């Protein structure tokens, strides 16, 4: 199991469509809800929601230019995503209030170096595929989507301190993992994300959207993965076998036989 944190977000394919822009624009001018209390919104009805806005005033004296519009304990805006066709939820939505920023931030896992890093200390046998510079892992249990795979540099690097040779290889590896995932068959789109904000060792996430699952296009695919019932074990393993074979065709090795 990859122990990366699971905060997830990616841009939707149709975020800027005229229809969606019109929808989000239609929210303007609605009355604000009570500042300082959670704002309940009916995601399925434009008429029912209430609008909570942020007071444009500094509240923390943090001297932080990116947080001065945020007021701890108050709620933010109604996000346009609740009107997108791919938003997985309906009914009342309550946004959590802003929490107190933490500065300095708590260290990420592995920030102390390779000796303290789970990714560095996992043997090749924990991975689906490896070569001299990169390793690919997957989840411990079947996900809802056909597979979730993670691309890691073998050495202890985050994105910002990859060596120039690894930077040059990264694009090729992203391409190869995307192609290998598509080789599973029945995949309409492979999305890639750099989540794992709790870990210091770079790992990119790859999610495939099954053909026909148009409802899950874009931003919310990772959440739809958690909503879908898990893949049957045998199907998941077959998906990983096809993925591994396709990746192996471009080089590297598979440390353990995939059943």
Residue 143: which residues within 8 A CB-CB, separation 6 or more? 225, 228, 230, 231, 236
Which of 8, 78, 156, 189 is the binder for Zn ion (CB under 5 A)?
156
d(CA 206, CA 3): 15
Burial of 222 (0-12, 13-18, 19+ CB in 10 A): buried
Q: Using CA atoms, how far apart are residues 177 and 31, in angstroms rounded to an integer?
A: 48
Nearest approach, Cβ of residue 167 and Zn ion (Å): 17
Piece of 103-111, 124-132, 222-230, 238-246 that binds Zn ion (CB under 5 A)? 103-111
Among 119, 138, 231, 239, binds Zn ion (CB under 5 A): 119
Instruction: By CB under 5 A, tell whether 137 contacts Zn ion.
Output: no
- Residue given tokens 């931003």 in the structure block: 219
d(C-alpha 226, C-alpha 127), whole Å: 22
Residue 120, interface with Zn ion (CB under 5 A)? yes
Question: Of 134, 150, 146, which Cα lies nearest the Cα of 206?
Answer: 150
Nearer residue to Zn ion within complex by CB, 110 or 208: 110
Residue placing its CB nearer to Zn ion in the complex, 152 or 242: 152
Q: For Zn ion, which residue of 33, 117, 151, 221 counts as binding (CB under 5 A)?
A: 117
Q: Which residues contact 71 (CB under 8 A, 6 or more apart)?
A: 54, 55, 57, 59, 98
Q: Give the shortest CB-251-to-Zn ion separation in angstroms.
A: 23
* Contacts of Zn ion in 172-201 (CB under 5 A): 201
Q: How far is the CB of 117 from Zn ion (least distance, A)?
A: 3
Site stretch for Zn ion (CB under 5 A), options 119-127, 128-136, 141-149, 232-240: 119-127
Least distance from Zn ion to the Cβ atom of residue 201, Å: 3
Neighbours of 24 (CB within 10 A): 17
Residues making contact with Zn ion (CB under 5 A): 110, 117, 119-120, 156, 201
């Amino acid at each position: 199991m990859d122990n990366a944190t699971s905060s997830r977000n990616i841009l939707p394919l149709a975020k800027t469509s005229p229809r969606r822009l019109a929808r989000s624009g239609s929210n303007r001018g609605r009355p604000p809800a009570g500042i300082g209390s959670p704002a309940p919104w009916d995601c399925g009805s434009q008429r029912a929601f209430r609008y909570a806005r942020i007071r444009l005033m500094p509240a923390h004296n943090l001297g932080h230019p990116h947080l001065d519009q945020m007021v701890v304990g108050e709620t933010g805006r109604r996000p346009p995503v609740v009107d997108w066709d791919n938003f997985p939820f309906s009914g009342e939505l309550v946004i959590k209030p802003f929490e107190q920023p933490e500065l300095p931030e708590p260290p990420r896992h592995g920030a102390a170096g390779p000796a303290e890093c789970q990714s560095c200390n996992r043997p090749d046998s924990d991975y689906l595929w490896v070569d001299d510079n990169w390793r690919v892992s997957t989840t411990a249990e079947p996900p809802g989507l056909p597979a979730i795979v993670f691309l890691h540099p073998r050495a202890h690097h985050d994105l910002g301190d990859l060596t120039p040779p690894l930077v040059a290889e990264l694009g090729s590896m992203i391409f190869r993992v995307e192609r290998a995932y598509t080789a599973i068959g029945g995949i309409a789109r492979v999305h890639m994300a750099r989540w794992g904000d709790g870990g210091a060792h770079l790992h990119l996430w790859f999610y495939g959207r099954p053909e026909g699952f148009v409802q899950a296009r874009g931003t919310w695919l990772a959440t739809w993965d958690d909503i879908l019932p898990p893949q049957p074990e045998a199907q998941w393993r077959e998906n990983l076998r096809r993925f591994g074979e396709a990746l192996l065709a471009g080089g590297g090795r598979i440390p353990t036989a995939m059943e």
